[in-house]
Structure 1
Amino acid sequence: MTAILWFRRDLRLDDNPALVSAIADGMPVIPVYIHAPDEEASWARGAASRWWLHHSLLALDASLRRLGSRLWIARGDSLAELRRIAAVTGATRVVWNRLYDPVIRERDTQIKQALKADGLDCASHNATLLFEPWDIATAEGRPYRVFSAFWRACAKRLCEPSPLPAPSTLPAGPDLEKGLAVEDLGLLPRFLWDTGLRAAWTPGESAALASATAFLDERVAVYGAARDLPGIPGTSRLSPHLHLGEISPRRLLTMVIARHGDPTAARVEAFVRELGWREFAYHLLYHFPRTTDEPLDARFAAFPWRGAEASEDLAAWQQGRTGIPLVDAGMRELWHSGWMHNRVRMVAASLLTKNLRLPWQSGARWFWETLVDADLASNTLGWQWTAGCGADAAPYFRVFNPVRQGERFDPQGVYVRRWCPELARLPDTCIHQPWTASQAVLTACGVRLGRDYPLPILDLAASRQVALAAWSDTRLTADALESR
């Protein structure tokens, strides 16, 4: 008897329920990864996420080899590959950890039904979340749409988890043909644009645990205030590790409790709430699967987004050439490192969806391609929240002012100067709005607006008013239609 352990976005040995289930009866285990981007439909991995996956798979294989096993890699139709491996090895069980993306959920259901019909024992487990999306509901049994209420419900049930330890050995399965190497999957870029990613990140389970340890020991106590300041290392930067399952939220919560006690205490509450925000994203994705492409607030279906005529504005935003320093700094950080500070993500997203009135889906697609932590649930929630068309949106149509945001959260311009070095010599008073500097100041600082750094592609105040008027008209029209 042999068990197939199907790895997906759970690329770790620690706290891996499917792994523990596979070895529970002492039977040989075949760890398998199947590369099947076609099955992810329109949400197949972007370039930055593929880069991370390549290195994470290498790290997982190395960990398995230290246990006397290895990662068997295949490519193609997942069901066909699982059936083939089962036939070759005589496997009688297939175990995996659950995913919640709508298309993948449907695929996994079909795979489980087909494998059971073949006579195989199949089991799936939760390795991704603190709470399953169907376990948290309102008093009426409905899904939550407001984070604060959702998190209050979660907090009442928040207790110290019992993450599963990594095994010390892994019973080797039958010999298979060599299989594919990670390099055969073609996950790395053909052109070497990933220098910044390599400098900024170390994928893999060991790196995830080291990063979590350093953050919880050294920075979590100031996280509540420091996380909003892009010029300093105030965030945890654990999101890409969480996305590919190199560390589990249960392990993180256990580490918080071991070091700091009560996870709702003021010292750590801000960070634990961010784990809750991630849970909320998956809660919404599960209950409202159409929101990957459509607004949760149906009124926004009629919002007058600009289209093809704004393609140059979209390109300027993508390239960090809008002439708005905080936004440009964020977009350049994203391109260089595969990551963007969360505060700046909100500001950049607001400029795109509110001031430029470009569809939130365009921004979500760009983030999907360029973020190493591109996660369908979190990406969807973040973009719909900022656009104002999703759950937990502000009670009014909020338009972030990127100048005010920069002056408040990057007052010395540390972040802007790093990513927009052509502005580095400008004084703090105009670093976030260089168009207000006198010609004498610009000349003294070596800045030629329109040449060294672009002039703004829009008027912030005027575009804000246009966006507010567009939403007012959309809302009134929708309300009138509903009242008929």
Structure 2
Amino acid sequence: MKRILWFRRDLRIEDNPLLSLEGEVLPIFIFDPNILSSLQNDDRRVSIIYNALLNLKSSLQMRGLDLALFYGKPVDVFKWLLSRHHFDEVCASGDYDHYALERDREISHLLPFNSLDDTYIFRPDEIVKNDGTPYLVFTPFYNRAKSLFSPEHMREFIPVEQSLTDFEYDSLHTIRQSDHTSKPMQLESIGFISQKLSSRQQSSPAIQLDQFASKIAHYSQDRDYMALNGTSGLSTQLRFGTLSVRAVLRWMLIQKKRGSDTEPFFRQLIFREFYAMLLYHFPHLSEQNFRYPFRGIANEEYFNAFCTAKTGVPIVDAGIRELLETGEMHNRARMLCASFFTKNLLLPWQWGEAFFAQHLNDYDAASNILSWQWSAGTGVDPQPYFRIFNPYAQGKKFDSDGVYIRRWMPQLASVSSTTLHNETALFSLTLCDYPHPIVYQKTSAKRALDHFKSI
């Protein structure tokens, strides 16, 4: 059988079901302008993907294979390929957001489409209640996932012998409708500027797992403290599939046998599954509230202050500076920033979600959208609307010495930790390059409560 192997969110050779299929193959990756057109030409994530593709291409070459790179709408790419070659099917890992499902449905009209389970532990339609409807509360979903989990969900896919289709693998193929152009294999050929990546952003999945091994025993205690490197650091690897979720599960089993409590991290992986399931069943949640019609207040001044790390609330601004400078943001900072954005500033969660989508290296539509709806109190199984984080109390609890704040806000280096976590002191502070808080915590929290109560 002759197959197109379409790499997408699985940019690796290890434990990849695409490489477990015998026969003649044409491995491809498509830079999709439908996705890329909304990005700035210096978007760091495109460089992360390109770096992963070069590593994948090299790994495939070591196996006697290769990787063809395309730029164009997927349907145009496949039409062009099929006009020149015969293929029996295209194989790709399942992708489940609304655009991906429509895209794959369109491709399936051109040739048989074999969707492989790879991105998640469970398919988004796999875990449902006894009546066939999706879960709307996380804990029952989590318990059901644990009851269904089996060794099959950790199976490792072993590469088999495959022969390579004769093709031009050393160029980047640009397809516009039926027109084809061969260009040099570089990001500039598709309109992007290569960005310098940090050592962490270029490190191998094996190194990332080794680093997490020293932290997983204290994961549940350390993960919320922003100055500590207590999180897994695996989110970007899982997003682009340079590491399979099955490999993580097998690694967790080893850590568990060594005495580590892996349950807290497993729970976070299942949150990822829960959000994917929700967006699959309720695609309208990408724009619409699940509950409460309130959409926030369009205040451009507040929004610009938030996006430029000038809210005057140190812990919030530190989180935004980390995001803007690295494309990463500590999970606790994400929660604090989203709560401040939707509750204290009463801005539309859709604005905040879009801002995060523009900058997060690990951006995953389902996780980001549903997390923002959770913070706003409008989603499925959300944080109650009356629960409003106090950023000063949160900063004092999870960054008591101000290490995280000063790391990302050097203009606050000389400000005492007591002042950093005290609203009254911050209003009394005068700095030439840092503003006073743009809202009062107590007043803005009451305003949010009043709005929700009036709905």
TM-score normalized by the length of structure 1:
0.86
- The structural deviation recorded for 1:165 is 4.0
Q: Does residue 408 of structure 1 match 2:402?
A: no
Partner of 1:463: 444
Partner of 2:178: none
- Specify which of 34, 47, 50 is matched with residue 46 of structure 2: 50
Tell me: CA distance 1:456–1:401, structure 2 relative to 1, closer, same or farther (3 Å): same
Of 407-416 and 169-178, more deviation after overlay is shown by: 169-178
- Specify which of 128, 137, 143 is matched with residue 128 of structure 2: 137
* Per-residue deviation, residues 243-290 of structure 1 (Å, max 9, x unmatched): 11111111100111123139xx97111111111010011111110111
Q: Does residue 212 of structure 1 match 2:206?
A: no
Tell me: CA distance 1:199–1:370, structure 2 relative to 1, closer, same or farther (3 Å): same
RMSD: 2.4
- The structural deviation recorded for 1:438 is 9.5
- The structural deviation recorded for 1:36 is 1.4
Q: Distance in 2 between matches of 1:371 and 1:467?
A: 27
- Specify which of 103, 127, 144 is matched with residue 118 of structure 2: 127
- Number of residue pairs aligned between Structure 1 and Structure 2: 442
- Specify which of 146, 163, 166 is matched with residue 174 of structure 1: 166
- The structural deviation recorded for 1:73 is 0.7
Q: Does residue 151 of structure 1 match 2:142?
A: yes
Question: Could you tell me which amino acid in structure 1 is paired with residue 65 of structure 2?
Answer: S
Tell me: CA distance 1:237–1:177, structure 2 relative to 1, closer, same or farther (3 Å): closer
* Per-residue deviation, residues 26-77 of structure 1 (Å, max 9, x unmatched): x221110111131689799992332322222122112112222221011112
Secondary structure in structure 2 of the residue aligned to 1:274: helix
Partner of 1:10: 10
Q: Distance in 2 between matches of 1:126 and 1:185?
A: 32
Partner of 2:226: 230
Question: Could you tell me which amino acid in structure 2 is paired with residue 457 of structure 1?
Answer: I
Partner of 1:321: 310
Q: Distance in 2 between matches of 1:88 and 1:429?
A: 69
Secondary structure in structure 1 of the residue aligned to 2:50: helix
- Specify which of 66, 77, 94 is matched with residue 81 of structure 1: 77
Partner of 2:182: none
Partner of 1:372: 361
Question: Could you tell me which amino acid in structure 2 is paired with residue 356 of structure 1?
Answer: L
Q: Would you say the 8 A contact 2:279–2:366 is kept in 1? A: yes
Partner of 2:376: 387
Q: Does residue 342 of structure 1 match 2:331?
A: yes
Q: Does residue 280 of structure 1 match 2:274?
A: yes
Tell me: CA distance 1:354–1:165, structure 2 relative to 1, closer, same or farther (3 Å): same
Q: Does residue 30 of structure 1 match 2:34?
A: no
Question: Could you tell me which amino acid in structure 1 is paired with residue 4 of structure 2?
Answer: I
Q: Would you say the 8 A contact 1:49–1:369 is kept in 2? A: no
Q: Would you say the 8 A contact 1:49–1:374 is kept in 2? A: no
Q: Does residue 362 of structure 1 match 2:361?
A: no
Question: Could you tell me which amino acid in structure 2 is paired with residue 167 of structure 1?
Answer: P
Question: Could you tell me which amino acid in structure 1 is paired with residue 60 of structure 2?
Answer: L
More helix by share: 1
- Specify which of 64, 71, 74 is matched with residue 67 of structure 2: 71
Q: Does residue 333 of structure 1 match 2:337?
A: no
Question: Could you tell me which amino acid in structure 1 is paired with residue 421 of structure 2?
Answer: H
Q: Report percent identity of matched pairs.
A: 35
Question: Could you tell me which amino acid in structure 2 is paired with residue 83 of structure 1?
Answer: K
Tell me: CA distance 1:210–1:43, structure 2 relative to 1, closer, same or farther (3 Å): same
Partner of 2:176: none
Q: Would you say the 8 A contact 1:240–1:373 is kept in 2? A: yes
Q: Distance in 2 between matches of 1:19 and 1:114?
A: 23
- Specify which of 251, 259, 265 is matched with residue 271 of structure 1: 265
Tell me: CA distance 1:304–1:102, structure 2 relative to 1, closer, same or farther (3 Å): closer
Tell me: CA distance 1:170–1:98, structure 2 relative to 1, closer, same or farther (3 Å): same
* Per-residue deviation, residues 151-176 of structure 1 (Å, max 9, x unmatched): 00001122333433453764222133
Q: Distance in 1 between matches of 2:243 and 2:382?
A: 29
- The structural deviation recorded for 1:225 is 1.1
Secondary structure in structure 1 of the residue aligned to 2:198: helix
Q: Does residue 183 of structure 1 match 2:175?
A: no
Q: Distance in 1 between matches of 2:160 and 2:454?
A: 63
Q: Distance in 1 between matches of 2:117 and 2:160?
A: 22
Q: Distance in 1 between matches of 2:427 and 2:28?
A: 63
Q: Distance in 2 between matches of 1:452 and 1:71?
A: 49
Secondary structure in structure 2 of the residue aligned to 1:201: helix
Q: Would you say the 8 A contact 1:28–1:173 is kept in 2? A: yes
Q: Distance in 1 between matches of 2:3 and 2:40?
A: 28
Partner of 1:445: none
Partner of 1:478: none
Q: Distance in 1 between matches of 2:8 and 2:295?
A: 39
Q: Distance in 1 between matches of 2:267 and 2:169?
A: 46
Of 61-70 and 238-247, more deviation after overlay is shown by: 61-70
Gaps of 5+ in 1: 117-121, 443-447, 475-484
- The structural deviation recorded for 1:199 is 2.4
Partner of 2:254: 258
Q: Distance in 2 between matches of 1:363 and 1:54?
A: 27
Q: Would you say the 8 A contact 2:29–2:67 is kept in 1? A: yes
Partner of 1:96: 92
Partner of 1:119: none
Q: Does residue 312 of structure 1 match 2:311?
A: no
Secondary structure in structure 1 of the residue aligned to 2:139: helix
Q: Distance in 2 between matches of 1:187 and 1:56?
A: 18
Of 465-474 and 41-50, more deviation after overlay is shown by: 41-50
